[in-house]
Amino acid sequence: MRFLRIALTVVILGFIASAIYISALVFQRQTALEGVGLGNVTWMVAQAPSEFARLEQRVSAFAAGDPAISADEVKLRFDIVVNRLKTLRTRDVENFALSDPRIGYILDDLEQALETSRPLLAELHVPGTPSRILDILEPIYPKLARLSTDANVWNVARIEADREGLFALQWAFTYVAVGLIVCGVFLTALLLVHNTLLGRAQQVLQQKERTLALQNARFDAALDAMSLGLCLLDAHNHIIVCNPRFLAIFGLNAARATPGTAIADLIDADLLADHVDDQAGDSGDFALLNNHTRHLPSGMVLEISREPTAEGGWVCTFEDVTERHRAQNRIVHMAHHDNLTGMANRLRFWESIGQAVRGLSMRAQPFAILYLDLDRFKEVNDTLGHPIGDALLRQVAERLRATSSARDMVARLGGDEFAVLHYCLDNSADSSQALAERIIASIAQPYHIEDNEIVVSTSVGIALAPADGTDADQLMKNADLALYSAKAEGAGTYRFFSAQMEQSLQNRRHLEMDLRGGIKLGQFELFYQPLVRLDTGRVVSGEALMRWRHPEHGMISPAQFIPLAEETGAIEVLGEWALQQACQDALNWPHHVRVSVNLSPVQFRGAGLVDIVKAVLATSELDARRLELEITESVLLQNNAVNLESLHQLRALGLTVALDDFGTGYSSLSYLQRFPFDKLKIDQSFVRDLADRPDSLSIVQSIATLGRNLRMTTTAEGVETQAQLDIITRAGCTEAQGYFFGAPMPEAEFRAMLMRQDRVSADV
């Protein structure tokens, strides 16, 4: 063995020496290979005469008046020669230049000629200048040609030297390879000897392992580590061995469960009744049934299994699966219930509808699907936060449970959508209508959540079975159509499904296609409604209101196509067109009259709104101070940080920004701190009730005072009577708008109104 160690040491040292030598050879080879790039020197030097000749040719052609050669072409060729000179100043060429001092002088002459010619390039069109340039350049070409020849000779010499070096490396590698082969053969022999020794040692170890395995055949170490309770019984059902986990499961003392003890003496007979053979005799002989689950009085759930042994006994295992059963129950519950409210979820609701449909044929039990969602729930989420929104949904769920009967199933389908499977005891329509009315009334009651009083409403769509369908998909689709119809009628309403709703959906789809076509065909136009300054009685602005003149359906209300355009994204194209057209129209009005354009929240989702407004102002040449943009609170509810930044950029253009429908949202006042609006437009719902409701008057007065203190213009919308005008004037409003002053009118009529106003002012 001592000799073997010495031999291995020698071999290893030999390999180390070989590795060092090979590394030196590799380094030498890499150094030699660097010369391969020297061919590039020849190419770079050879290109110089060619590029220089092209420069002379272009100068000569330009001097001869060749129309195909321009001054720019001559300058381009001059720049190419300058760049070629830079490549000749690289390290490789400098190494070549060291071989002959004349080479450096040639490059210096070339550089001097170029520097002398450079100022003359600006005077190429001056007669005689091209000839002067040629005189300067003429002596250089022969020198460059000679330089190219010298470079070729120099490169050939270097290549020959590299070849000789390669032959030397080849022989060196040959000697090293032979040495490595010899060392490899020697090492192989050593490894064979070593493997023989290892094989003998392995045989000894295997024999010892078999001896240890026989000694530990009773699996002493494994029993204590098992997570299962284990009990090994002999053919007479007496304990051979049991582990601590078995004792812990059944609360046994180790002193009682000694080998030879009958299992029947350790476990109560009632406990064994489910899994012990009823035919067991007084001797206590019994057989465990195959795998089964047992619920203990303590609440523990055991999974018991048994396997026979060769001696006629049994290996019994007891696994505590209590947590697994709880988890499975939770999973089953979660799969069929909503996590937030504990209600049935969409999957379970669909299954229940299927059961109810099957029950139609057996019990003829009619039922109804009530599909509902909360109106303006998103505003609650965006304004007060998702935790408040979740708490609101939980309270809504409780009210739905309280409103529905015990037989009904109430489910949350997702978001703010709920559904009720209502079993009708009498006339299905009457019963469903009564339930819908109770739900709407219950949901509409105020909610008190964390010092917030929240009021929401709900809309309900109702589909009856079997009248409106006999499968879950059809019934839910029809209930959804009814819900869509109810929401179109306004918040807090319900609608039963009817066949006309399907037709309405088709009409909506046709309207959507017509909408896209109408944009291309120019079927849209702008009407203008005057805004009047109350202290002067003069029209100071016109609000642009879009109209759709459909070739078949005539004039279509914005209430029909604007929501559709927002849903489909067409509002971005319509909005840009309206902005462009309004600015163009305003150019025909007196300079003191502004134009007001409404912006949809959808337009803020794109990143280019500010750029669009800039472009419109630039192309129309309208003074930005004459443009007013109106937004609603919903713009600030959606991605408000980004939208606020867009509003600041818009206002920086010089235009004014108005907050429309002020006072109807959740947190209008908070936005006055975050963005300096120029105008507040009081929602017409407050103006409409001025004469009858003192609270509306108080609200209008408060907004007018607020606007005055914040130096904001206040505009009262929806003024229709002299009495309303008098009240808002006394309240301190700045402007007014409504049918009292004029309905929305075509641009030509609005322009005529402005002209009449100016003539009256001139006469006065």
Contact 666, 454 (CB under 8 A): no
Tokens of residue 568, six digits: 């489909």
Identify the pLDDT of residue 649.
Answer: 94
Whether the pLDDT of residue 426 is over 80: the answer is: no
Least confident of 26-35, 236-245, 525-534, 547-556: 26-35
Identify the pLDDT of residue 590.
Answer: 96
Compute the average pLDDT of residues 650-678: 83
What proportion of the chain, given as a percentage, has pLDDT over 70? 85
Whether the pLDDT of residue 169 is over 70: the answer is: no
Partners of 595 in the β-ladder: 542, 627
Identify the pLDDT of residue 34.
Answer: 54
Identify the pLDDT of residue 280.
Answer: 40
312 to 48, 214, 232, 233, 236: CA distances (angstroms): 102, 22, 11, 9, 9
Whether the pLDDT of residue 279 is over 60: the answer is: no
Place of tokens 């009720």: 420
183 to 3, 7, 13, 194: CA distances (angstroms): 17, 11, 10, 16
* Highest averaged pLDDT of the listed ranges 4-18, 59-73, 401-415: 401-415
Instruction: State the Cα–Cα distance between residues 735 and 621, nearest whole angstrom.
Output: 27
Q: Identify which has the larger pLDDT, 675 or 96.
A: 675
Instruction: State the Cα–Cα distance between residues 737 and 539, nearest whole angstrom.
Output: 10
DSSP 691-758: TT-HHHHHHHHHHHHHHHHTT-EEEE----SHHHHHHHHHHT-SEEESTTT---EEHHHHHHHHHHHH
Helix (H, G, I), strand (E, B) or coil at 432: helix
Identify the pLDDT of residue 37.
Answer: 47
Question: Which residues have CB under 8 Å from 110's CB, separation 6+?
Answer: 48, 52, 85, 140, 143, 144
Compute the average pLDDT of residues 194-213: 80
Where are the extended beta strands (E) located within 45-93?
Answer: none
* Highest averaged pLDDT of the listed ranges 10-14, 143-147, 191-195, 355-359: 355-359
Identify the pLDDT of residue 702.
Answer: 93
The fold adopted by the segment(s) 221-324 is Beta-Lactamase (3.30.450)
Burial string for 299-326 (b: 16+ CB within 10 Å, else e) reads: eebbbbebeeeeeebbebbbbbbeeeee
CATH entry, 339-497, from 1.10.760.10, 3.10.20.30, 3.30.70.1290, 3.30.70.270: 3.30.70.270
Partners of 630 in the β-ladder: 598, 658
pTM of the model: 0.49
pLDDT tens track for 326-372: 888 888 888 899 999 999 999 999 999 999 998 887 777 889 999 99
Instruction: State the Cα–Cα distance between residues 407 and 501, nearest whole angstrom.
Output: 29
What are the residue ranges spanned by the domains of the chain? 1-186, 221-324, 339-497, 510-763
Tokens of residue 717, six digits: 């919308």
Strands 447-449 and 627-631: unpaired
Tokens of residue 367, six digits: 């039922």
Identify the pLDDT of residue 342.
Answer: 93
Instruction: State the Cα–Cα distance between residues 301 and 293, nearest whole angstrom.
Output: 7
List the Cα angle 495/497/503 in 5-degree steps. Answer: 115
Compute the average pLDDT of residues 286-313: 77
Compute the average pLDDT of residues 19-34: 59
Please say whether the structural domain 510-763 has been given the CATH code 3.20.20.450.
yes
Whether the pLDDT of residue 668 is over 60: the answer is: no
Instruction: State the Cα–Cα distance between residues 598 and 545, nearest whole angstrom.
Output: 8
Given pLDDT bands bounded at 50, 70 and 90, which one contains residue 284? very low
Identify the pLDDT of residue 525.
Answer: 95
Identify the pLDDT of residue 285.
Answer: 42
Least confident of 153-167, 169-183, 490-504, 574-588: 169-183
Instruction: State the Cα–Cα distance between residues 155 and 37, nearest whole angstrom.
Output: 10
Tokens of residue 540, six digits: 């100071």
Mean per-residue pLDDT over the chain, rounded: 84
Identify the pLDDT of residue 264.
Answer: 83
Compute the average pLDDT of residues 423-446: 89
Instruction: State the Cα–Cα distance between residues 84 and 761, nearest whole angstrom.
Output: 78
Tokens of residue 238, six digits: 């007496």
Whether the pLDDT of residue 283 is over 60: the answer is: no
Tokens of residue 459, six digits: 């809309």
Whether the pLDDT of residue 395 is over 90: the answer is: yes
Cis peptide before 466 (omega within 30 of 0): yes
Identify the pLDDT of residue 217.
Answer: 67
